[in-house]
Amino acid sequence: MNRTKKLWQRANTTLGRSGMLAGGFLLVVLLAAVLAPLVAPADPNQSSLLDSYAGPSGAHLLGADGIGRDLLSRLIFGARTSLLGPALVVGVSLLLGIPLALLASWYGGWVDGVIARVFDLVYALPGLLLAVLTVALFGPGLTPAVVALSIAYIPFLARIVRAAARQQRVSPYVDALAVQGFGVLRITVRHILRNIVPVVVGQAAIAFGYALLDLASLSYLGLAVQAPTPDWGVMVSDSDALLKGYWLQVLAPGVLIVLTVLALTVVGARISGEKPPGYLRRRRPAGAALKDRAENDRTPVGAAA
Amino acid sequence: MTRLLLHRLGGLLTTLFLSSVVIFGSLYLAPGSPENVIFGSRTPSAAARAAVRHRLHLDQPLPVRYWDWLTGVLHGDLGTSMVTGQPVADRVGSGLGTTLLLVLMTMVLVVLIGLAMGLTAALLPGRVDGAVNAATSVSVTVPSFVASALLISLFAVKLGWFPASGLGQGFGGKVDGLVLPAVALAILSCGFLARVTRNAVRDQLEREHVQTALVRGLPRRTVLRSHVLRNALPPIVTAVGLLTAGTFASTLVVESAFAVPGIGQLTIQSVAQKDFPVVQAVALLLVAAFVVCNAASDLIQAVVDPRLREAGSTS
Amino acid sequence: MTAPLLELAGLTVDITTEDGGTRTLLDGIDLSLAPGEALGLVGESGSGKSMTMRAVTRLLPRGAAVSGAVRYDGAEVLAMDAGALRRYRDREVGLVFQDPRAHVNPTRRIGAFLIEALVRNRGVGKREALARAAAVLAEVGIDDPQRRLRQYPHEVSGGMLQRVMIASVLLAEPRLILADEPTTALDVTIQREVVGILDRLRRERGMGMVFITHDLDLALAVCGRVAVMYAGRIVELRSADTLHERAAHPYTLGLLGSRPSIDERAQRLTAIPGRPVSAFESGPGCAFAPRCGFATAQCETTPPALAEFDDGLVRCSRVEEIHAARTEATA
């Protein structure tokens, strides 16, 4: 009990109000994805032509799509594929990126240089294009798309890890540990990696959001997740519903994508220690100073007048 | 300056060369031989297969084929489509103009709206800044295909102001059909540019040299233009370069969403049809666009900020 | 006595902090400067000397509230509208900042920096302005001014850039120069040179100057009068010639004592104990009391007033007793 309370407090101070809200939303989405068979009101692939484009009702809480499949159930099951893909992408690129980044930051010099050059080259290819090319080679599917995006995301994550690890590498405590005879592996894993965990987790959350966008785009194009499988990106590509004006069927998954990515960015930024933007902080008590004529003088160009 | 130019040009050509090797090589290492595309589901006789392989130069070793292709590309010959039998250059050429126009329209929107929003936020701290910040936080998470769906359902289906797909006749019809795709592409980029602009301008407003200019009695507009904005340009230029490059990549999605006959749609079609010569050409073209945008933004930065003019200092 | 060029009366600056509190940075500064006079403002960091200069030009941080008066040539600076303020900043005062690297726009050529105000504010032609700029560069001792005009700030040394900054002030031909630690960011060898140039050109042109520094010796060398500041207040004001002999405030005595001298072989340097405080940190009494060797219980509670003593102004309740004790000791 006490531990839960402590954890809650810690989360509260790290994430702040907006971060807690975003985290709560993510938790709901995640639970929906994991417990989909339990919480979904219907089978997402059960079609019934009588219910074609049915409006919201007791039978279909959010209505049904063109062939009468329950929209809410498809959204809930869609969370599974929509979250699994980016999770794999981030996982694989961290697994490959972190060792490379630590290697580069520990040894510096030419090792660092070679790794940086390779990253530059990968960076020159947009992730989406790389994924499209991979699909051209291996045919459409979630696996080729995930493999391609994992490669494309390695430089993004590895650069951040390298910079953070480099900062630790040059701090005196690392030299102190080395002098005490601790091995490279031990220092790197037990100390350096541990200290940069917040940055890595935060940036991974942000990368998760981008990967979600990229994968959803690919599914939308019919190159990743394939049609009857419920997936948010696939659902947005329902042009029949779109052109017939059934916007809920198309925009509900779209809105879910936007909200999930937004929540991921907010949480990611908070965890990696970026300050919340000013409008979220407590407003300054109204001070007479604001009205003072000298107030605007330091930044007069910034004033409206 | 000249040295920097050469340095950048060298890097650009190296990247292009390496990506062309990667693209060419990987497509021919793909499982299933390219000639199967031509035969489809039929099982050809050995002689027929050999004839096709010879026609496609598949019987030659990979480096020779790469060399032939590269010299062809340098002479403007991009090969022949395996699906339609048309020269690839014709297919790419007919879509290139449309895509360039789309990217241009998008970037005009992005620069105008993004800069305006960023400047407003930077110059009006407090409520306005907060509102813009909230708007951009959301807009940078709206993917182009969701934006496309939103725009189609609102402006094409409901209001009927613009076509939902395809382009009309003539230049006017073309522009008309590209408005919604351009807006769909611009939404995310506008938010991004607005944030970069706001932070860059805020940063400069707090600089000491801006105070010097103020305390010399220069008019606010002069200080804003010649000191604040001018010095805030490098990050903004970088962002515009990155966003232009990203827009080329996003045309893959948006051109498919709106059925715009540009090279983005051509890429997706060719990928679906396994039309390798076309995929190769457009992929290389997109990489070229990406690399050129980034190099161009580096050079513009060097023009704006003299401290970046020494070669290699930016890489 | 002629009318003062600059007059500060009861100048007070409070700043509102992020958490909503107010902090006093300057507390009732009274000063006056005659045309052509040089006045030194001396104090440790946080004593409010830079804030004084900022208040004179109304270059204050966000959330700062100013009260009191800043009169320039009889006009109330704090009440000027935007246009009048611009004219005042353009023609009447010139600022030399501490760090020229940060205070000169790095993306524009030195020539553009120098002529900007002339061309924008006074409609001087570009050629004419550049010719004048070259002439002034020569005056501040810069060789080959034509070449320098085409260079960028990062291509010249800090000392050279500070001379460019001085040249930019001279070009505007103001009647008042405010120099805020103009040499602190420079190498020691270049410091004297730059101060020398500033001092000579100021005298030649009859400009008034407020010279802000933490270096009491430097102030004594270039200024006629010196005001010593502590925690946002002036604690002693007297003429530079007599400050050495007649310094009466314990803080000024401390400043004089904490600098090594060549004529006496001091056994140990007397440092002022404790750390300097800002105005908002001080208690109800004398701000210097916690570090003062002469402080009594009364000093902690009753704030002393700036009062005339021995041809100067001193802010100390026990100045008579301290003076008597010191004369006795030396006699």
Q: Are strands C176-180 and C208-213 parallel, antiparallel or unpaired?
A: parallel
Q: Which helix (H) or strand (E) holds C31?
A: strand C22-33
Q: Are strands C93-96 and C306-309 parallel, antiparallel or unpaired?
A: unpaired
- Are C203 and C255 within one domain? no
Q: Are strands C6-16 and C22-33 parallel, antiparallel or unpaired?
A: antiparallel
- Provide the shortest C-alpha distance from residue C57 to chain A (in Å): 9
Q: pLDDT digits over A37-91, tens only?
A: 887 777 777 777 777 777 777 677 777 776 767 778 888 888 888 889 899 999 9
Examine residue C133 and state whether it is found in any structural domain, yes or no: yes
Q: Cβ–Cβ of C61/A298 closer than 8 Å?
A: yes
- Are C17 and C84 within one domain? yes
List CB contacts (< 8 A) between A302 and chain B: 122-125, 205
How far is C58 from A175, CA to CA, in rounded Å? Answer: 50
Q: Cβ–Cβ of B252/A262 closer than 8 Å?
A: no
Examine residue C199 and state whether it is found in any structural domain, yes or no: yes
Nearest to A298 among C18, C60, C79 (CB): C60
For chain B, the farthest-separated pair of C-alpha atoms sits apart, in whole angstroms, at 87
Residue B124: CB atoms within 10 A of its CB come to: 16
How far is C16 from A130, CA to CA, in rounded Å? Answer: 53
- Identify which has the larger pLDDT, B271 or A294: B271
List CB contacts (< 8 A) between A262 and chain B: 137-138, 141
- The answer to whether ipTM exceeds 0.90 is no
Q: Which helix (H) or strand (E) holds C224?
A: none
Q: Cβ–Cβ of C62/A294 closer than 8 Å?
A: no
Report whether A165 contacts A105 (CB < 8 A). Answer: yes
Average pLDDT over residues B228-236: 88
Touching A (3+ Cβ pairs <8 A), the chains are B, C
Residue B31: pLDDT band with limits 50, 70, 90:
low
Return residues 168-207 of B near A (CB < 8 Å): 205-206
| In C123-273, alpha helices (H) | 126-139, 145-149, 158-171, 188-205, 216-222, 240-246, 250-257
Interface mutation target, options B19, B83, B137, B271, chain A, most CBs of A under 10 Å:
B271
**A278 vs C: CB within 8 A:** no
pLDDT reading at B116 higher than 90 = yes
- Are C156 and C291 within one domain? no
Six-digit token string for A50: 């009588």
Examine residue C139 and state whether it is found in any structural domain, yes or no: yes
Examine residue C10 and state whether it is found in any structural domain, yes or no: yes
**Sign of the dihedral through C-alpha B197, B200, B203, B208:** negative
- Are C127 and C199 within one domain? yes
Report whether A158 contacts A176 (CB < 8 A). Answer: no
Residue A289: pLDDT band with limits 50, 70, 90:
very low
- Are C136 and C13 within one domain? yes
Average pLDDT over residues C174-178: 90
- Are C18 and C138 within one domain? yes
* Chain C residues touching chain A at CB-CB below 8 Å: 14-16, 18, 20, 22, 58-66, 78-79, 82
Closest-CA residue to B276 (of B47, B58, B44)? B58
Six-digit token string for C165: 């900054």
pLDDT reading at B124 higher than 60 = yes
Q: pLDDT digits over C6-29, tens only?
A: 988 889 888 887 667 778 888 888
How far is B114 from B188, CA to CA, in rounded Å? Answer: 10
Total domains present in chain C: 2
pLDDT on residue A288: 30
- Provide the shortest C-alpha distance from residue A267 to chain B (in Å): 13
Could you tell me which residues are beta bridge partners of residue C7?
C32, C71
**C168 vs B: CB within 8 A:** yes
Interface size between A and B, measured as CB pairs under 8 A: 156
- Are C64 and C28 within one domain? yes
What ranges do the domains of chain B cover? 88-309
How far is A135 from B252, CA to CA, in rounded Å? Answer: 13
Average pLDDT over residues A200-210: 88
pLDDT on residue B194: 94
Report whether A257 contacts A232 (CB < 8 A). Answer: yes
- Provide the shortest C-alpha distance from residue A287 to chain C (in Å): 7
Q: Which domain holds residue C222?
A: 6-229
Examine residue C237 and state whether it is found in any structural domain, yes or no: no
- Are C57 and C170 within one domain? yes
pLDDT on residue B51: 75
Closest residue on chain A to B24 (Cα) = A133
pLDDT on residue A102: 83
Q: Does domain B88-309 have CATH number 1.10.3720.10?
A: yes
Average pLDDT over residues C171-178: 89
Dihedral (Cα; A201, A204, A205, A209), 10-degree rounding: 180
Closest residue on chain A to B273 (Cα) = A136
DSSP string, C149-190: HTS-GGGS-HHHHHHHHHHHHHHT--SEEEEESTTTTS-HHH
- Are C177 and C221 within one domain? yes
Closest residue on chain B to A300 (Cα) = B220
**A138 vs B: CB within 8 A:** yes
Task: Walk me through the domains of chain A, giving residue ranges and CATH numbers.
Answer: 17-31+69-274 (1.10.3720.10)
pLDDT reading at C287 higher than 50 = yes
- Domain with C113 in it: what CATH number? 3.40.50.300
List CB contacts (< 8 A) between A250 and chain B: 149, 153
Three-state SS for B45?
coil
In one-letter notation, the amino acid at residue A207 is A
Out of A42-51, A210-219, A294-303, C208-217, pick the least confident: A294-303
Closest-CA residue to C212 (of C54, C27, C23)? C54
Examine residue C130 and state whether it is found in any structural domain, yes or no: yes
φ, ψ of residue C29 to 5 degrees: the values are: -85, 125
| Segment A194-197 long-range contacts (CB within 8 Å, at least 24 positions apart) | A195/A168, A196/A161, A196/A164, A196/A165, A196/A168
Q: Which helix (H) or strand (E) holds A294?
A: none
How far is B220 from B147, CA to CA, in rounded Å? Answer: 39
* Chain B residues touching chain C at CB-CB below 8 Å: 207-209, 211-219, 222, 226-227, 230-231, 304-307
Side by side, the strands of the sheet bearing C38-42 are: C93-96, C176-180, C208-213, C38-42, C225-230, C233-239, C312-315, C306-309
Return mean pLDDT, chain C.
Answer: 84
DSSP string, B251-274: HHHHHHHTT--SHHHHHHHHHHHT
Which residues have C-beta within 8 Å of that of residue B80, sequence separation ≥ 6?
B86, B87, B88, B277
End position of a domain, from candidates C229, C253, C287: C229
- Are C74 and C193 within one domain? yes
List CB contacts (< 8 A) between C56 and chain A: none
Highest mean pLDDT, choosing among A120-134, B37-51, C146-160: C146-160
Closest residue on chain A to B218 (Cα) = A301
Six-digit token string for A127: 């992730």
Residue B82: pLDDT band with limits 50, 70, 90:
confident
**Sign of the dihedral through C-alpha A287, A291, A297, A300:** positive
Residues in chain B: 315
